[in-house]
Amino acid sequence: MNTELIPARPVIVTGKRKRTRGWKGNGLLYAMLLPAIVLTFIFSYVPIAGLVMAFQDYQPWLGFTKSPWVGLQQFRTIFQFPDSVQVIWNTLIIAGLKIVAGLIAPFGFALLLNEVRSNIFKRSVQTLVYLPHFLSWVILGGILVDVLSPSGGLFNRFLSIFGVEPIFFLGNGNWFRFTVVLSDVWKEFGFSTIVYLAALAGINPSLYEAAEADGANRWQQTIFITIPSLVPMAIVLGTLSLGNVLNAGFDQIFNLYSPLVYGKGDIIDTYVYRMGIQNGQFSFGTAFGLFKSLVSTVLIVVSYRLAYRYGNYKIF
């Protein structure tokens, strides 16, 4: 058989390359993105100009240009007020408890849900525990006020069966912190479980097969395979949550608290709202909010550094 090599045709490269789809080709997509950009600019970037109030004795009738400048006086006032220091401690305590409980609850729930063999039951439970995440604290706050009421509330009625005196969960400072943390966990732990379930799905099944061949039972497989596989994800979530240590949840606290629990339930966000908006101390409220933002920014940077170092996690 006579075979001959057929020379390939030379490829002629023109000097002008065809341009990929740009603004014209993706115009519809950019148009869909435009409203989000406009809203972000209006509500996130334009208000930055108002930070000058933190360095002024701002008076609304004088405006930004004529209000007297006081330098860092507003920031010094933050640490001179006993209420301000107490508010910072309240925020750290409530946010810290939320972070710890918010890590333990979904971790344990994911382990338990992983042992369920019925897919129908597993999916039903997942749906039920996810639902509270999509409800506003305005709705949940009203429900909790009714359920935890000391006079006729469903929970106190249940406690009365065992002879327990009614508890004012939302009117006692110590019980208020407990209620806030527990209700936040109840609302969010189902949604947070998604991350751990995704990590569980990525575990190599051969590890379980090898452990079962060696005689390991389900409990031993959980201890030596499942939990160590979830620990890196828990470390990442724990370090990233450090950036929210000054965010104790304005929506939740605002819809649940009252003057009875200001001493142990008032946080930075609610305090700034009350002092800055309701009491008209705009400069003090702005300075306190700026102080919180600066500290949160530092904590976010540190948390991402820790997550990259110990959990090999990075965004960019």
Domain assignment present for residue 164? The answer is: yes
Quote the pLDDT of residue 128.
Answer: 87
> Domain residues for 244?
73-311
Tell me the CA distances in angstroms from 155 to 81, 133, 139, 169, 177, one per residue in order: 38, 22, 18, 10, 17
Quote the pLDDT of residue 302.
Answer: 82
Tell me the CA distances in angstroms from 214 to 115, 149, 224, 226, 228, one per residue in order: 20, 55, 13, 16, 18
Domain assignment present for residue 28? The answer is: no
Quote the pLDDT of residue 10.
Answer: 52
DSSP letter for each residue of 186-202: HHHHHHHHHHHHHHHHT
- What phi and psi, each to the nearest 5 degrees, are found at residue 24? -70, -45
Domain assignment present for residue 197? The answer is: yes
How many independent structural domains does the chain possess? 1
Q: What pLDDT tens digit does each residue of the chain (316 aa) get?
A: 454 555 555 555 455 555 555 566 677 888 889 999 999 999 989 888 888 888 988 888 888 888 888 888 888 888 888 888 889 899 989 988 998 998 899 999 988 888 888 888 888 888 888 888 888 999 998 899 999 888 888 888 888 888 888 888 888 888 999 999 999 999 988 888 888 888 888 888 888 888 888 888 888 888 888 888 888 888 888 877 877 778 888 899 999 988 888 888 889 889 989 888 888 888 888 888 888 888 888 888 887 787 777 766 665 5
Domain assignment present for residue 140? The answer is: yes
Among 249, 254, 309, CA closest to 96: 249
Quote the pLDDT of residue 182.
Answer: 92
Quote the pLDDT of residue 1.
Answer: 47
Domain assignment present for residue 5? The answer is: no
How far is Cα 75 from Cα 73, in angstroms, rounded to an integer?
5
CATH number at residue 233: 1.10.3720.10
CB atoms closer than 10 angstroms to residue 252: 22
- DSSP three-state, residue 295: helix
How far is Cα 254 from Cα 270, in angstroms, rounded to an integer?
6
Nearest-Å Rg of the Cα atoms of the chain is 28
Domain assignment present for residue 47? The answer is: no
Domain assignment present for residue 32? The answer is: no
Domain assignment present for residue 17? The answer is: no
